[in-house]
Amino acid sequence: MISRANVEDKIIGGYLIPKNTTIMIALSALHKSTEIWGPTANEFDPKRWLNPLYTKNVTNYNFLPFITGTRSCIGNKLALAEFKILLSTLIRNFVFQ
Protein backbone atom coordinates (compact mmCIF):
# COMPACT_ATOMS: atom_id res chain seq x y z
CA MET A 1 0.00 0.00 0.00
CA ILE A 2 1.35 3.40 -0.96
CA SER A 3 -0.06 6.87 -0.53
CA ARG A 4 0.08 9.96 -2.68
CA ALA A 5 -1.65 13.37 -2.60
CA ASN A 6 -3.23 14.85 -5.71
CA VAL A 7 -2.02 18.29 -6.73
CA GLU A 8 -5.29 19.60 -8.18
CA ASP A 9 -9.03 19.00 -7.99
CA LYS A 10 -9.90 15.97 -10.13
CA ILE A 11 -13.08 14.17 -11.12
CA ILE A 12 -12.60 10.41 -11.38
CA GLY A 13 -15.52 8.12 -12.13
CA GLY A 14 -17.95 10.94 -11.41
CA TYR A 15 -16.46 11.65 -7.97
CA LEU A 16 -14.70 14.89 -7.05
CA ILE A 17 -11.30 14.32 -5.44
CA PRO A 18 -10.31 17.68 -3.86
CA LYS A 19 -6.76 19.01 -4.08
CA ASN A 20 -4.35 17.65 -1.42
CA THR A 21 -6.49 14.57 -0.75
CA THR A 22 -4.42 11.57 0.37
CA ILE A 23 -4.98 8.72 -2.06
CA MET A 24 -4.11 5.17 -0.99
CA ILE A 25 -3.14 2.67 -3.69
CA ALA A 26 -3.38 -1.03 -2.85
CA LEU A 27 -0.79 -2.46 -5.24
CA SER A 28 -1.51 -6.08 -4.32
CA ALA A 29 -5.18 -5.62 -5.25
CA LEU A 30 -4.26 -3.75 -8.43
CA HIS A 31 -1.82 -6.45 -9.53
CA LYS A 32 -4.38 -9.22 -8.89
CA SER A 33 -7.41 -7.61 -10.51
CA THR A 34 -9.29 -10.07 -12.72
CA GLU A 35 -10.71 -7.11 -14.68
CA ILE A 36 -7.19 -6.28 -15.86
CA TRP A 37 -5.31 -9.60 -15.76
CA GLY A 38 -8.09 -12.07 -16.56
CA PRO A 39 -9.33 -15.13 -14.66
CA THR A 40 -5.80 -16.30 -13.78
CA ALA A 41 -4.88 -13.06 -12.01
CA ASN A 42 -4.06 -14.86 -8.74
CA GLU A 43 -1.82 -17.43 -10.43
CA PHE A 44 1.67 -17.32 -11.88
CA ASP A 45 0.82 -17.33 -15.57
CA PRO A 46 3.57 -15.91 -17.81
CA LYS A 47 1.55 -16.92 -20.89
CA ARG A 48 -0.92 -14.14 -20.10
CA TRP A 49 1.57 -11.72 -21.68
CA LEU A 50 1.04 -13.50 -25.00
CA ASN A 51 -2.73 -12.95 -24.98
CA PRO A 52 -3.67 -9.59 -26.57
CA LEU A 53 -7.03 -9.78 -24.79
CA TYR A 54 -5.22 -9.05 -21.49
CA THR A 55 -2.18 -7.08 -22.62
CA LYS A 56 -4.38 -4.40 -24.23
CA ASN A 57 -5.55 -3.49 -20.70
CA VAL A 58 -2.04 -3.03 -19.30
CA THR A 59 -0.97 0.59 -18.87
CA ASN A 60 1.53 2.54 -16.79
CA TYR A 61 -1.28 3.02 -14.28
CA ASN A 62 -2.22 -0.59 -13.51
CA PHE A 63 1.15 -2.36 -13.48
CA LEU A 64 3.40 -0.66 -10.93
CA PRO A 65 6.04 -3.14 -9.73
CA PHE A 66 8.44 -0.33 -8.75
CA ILE A 67 6.02 2.62 -8.67
CA THR A 68 6.95 5.71 -10.72
CA GLY A 69 8.01 9.27 -10.20
CA THR A 70 10.40 10.87 -7.77
CA ARG A 71 9.54 8.47 -4.95
CA SER A 72 9.87 5.26 -6.94
CA CYS A 73 11.57 2.15 -5.59
CA ILE A 74 15.33 2.56 -5.20
CA GLY A 75 15.77 -1.09 -6.21
CA ASN A 76 14.36 -0.53 -9.71
CA LYS A 77 17.72 -0.04 -11.45
CA LEU A 78 19.30 -2.86 -9.45
CA ALA A 79 16.51 -5.26 -10.45
CA LEU A 80 16.84 -4.28 -14.12
CA ALA A 81 20.63 -4.76 -14.00
CA GLU A 82 20.18 -8.19 -12.36
CA PHE A 83 17.69 -9.17 -15.05
CA LYS A 84 20.09 -8.13 -17.83
CA ILE A 85 22.88 -10.16 -16.23
CA LEU A 86 20.60 -13.19 -15.84
CA LEU A 87 19.35 -12.95 -19.41
CA SER A 88 22.84 -12.55 -20.89
CA THR A 89 24.10 -15.52 -18.82
CA LEU A 90 21.24 -17.70 -20.03
CA ILE A 91 21.79 -16.70 -23.66
CA ARG A 92 25.53 -17.32 -23.38
CA ASN A 93 25.23 -20.75 -21.74
CA PHE A 94 22.16 -22.33 -23.32
CA VAL A 95 20.63 -22.96 -26.73
CA PHE A 96 16.96 -22.01 -26.95
CA GLN A 97 14.64 -23.48 -29.57
73 is in an annotated binding site: yes
- End-to-end C-alpha distance for the chain, whole angstroms: 40
Report which of 20, 26, 27, 25 is spatially closest to residue 5, judged by C-alpha positions: 20
Contact 51, 38 (CB under 8 A): yes
Residue 69 half-sphere exposure toward CB, CA atoms < 13 A: 9
Annotated binding residues for heme, written as ranges, equal 73
Annotated binding residues, written as ranges, equal 73
